[in-house]
Amino acid sequence: MCHLLLVLPLVSLILFSLLPLEEAAPLYSLILLFCAILYWLIWRAMRRPVTTGVEGMMGAVGQVIQNGKRTHKVFVKGEIWDAICEEALSVGESVEVIGLKRMELAVRKRLRRQNHAISGREGASR
């Protein structure tokens, strides 16, 4: 079905052999306009960022709800996950997902926006 939509402008050229030019040209221009809008919508939909699966988890922000010896429990996107972090984490701290290893999220501490802005200004003044 989708391939038929892609060749619709070519197939509709048959109109020029079946109808007089005065009737075929406006009808063909409507078909071209419809196809252009449809192609634009398809292009926009295909360029949307991934929101599901492992790719959708990358960069997600969560909150530590429990500490453990090796793993922590974090709340990300409405679910509780086991998480591994190389840094020490405390309950209530914000973390960012950087990977997934066997149903455990690899996370790192999330720096606050204010810290980024301050450090950016200091780096520019040096």
**Is the CATH code 2.60.40.10 the one for domain 53-110?**
no
Q: Which two tokens stand for residue 105?
A: 């999220």
The 10 Å Cβ neighbour count of residue 92 is 8
- CA atoms of 122 and 126, how far apart (whole Å): 6
d(CA 125, CA 108): 28
Q: Coil, helix or strand for 19?
A: coil
Q: pLDDT over 70 for what percent of the chain?
A: 87
Q: pLDDT tens digits, residue range 38-65?
A: 999 999 999 998 888 888 889 899 999 9
Closest to 28 measured CA to CA, from 43, 36, 42, 40: 36
**What b/e sequence results for 49-80 when a residue is b if at least 16 CB atoms lie within 10 Å of its CB, and e otherwise?**
eeeeeeeebeebebebeeeeeeebbbebeeee
Q: What pLDDT is recorded for position 1?
A: 60
Return the higher-pLDDT residue of 125 and 97: 97
pLDDT-derived band at 126, boundaries 50, 70, 90:
very low
- Rounded to whole angstroms, the Cα distance separating 15 from 50 reads 41
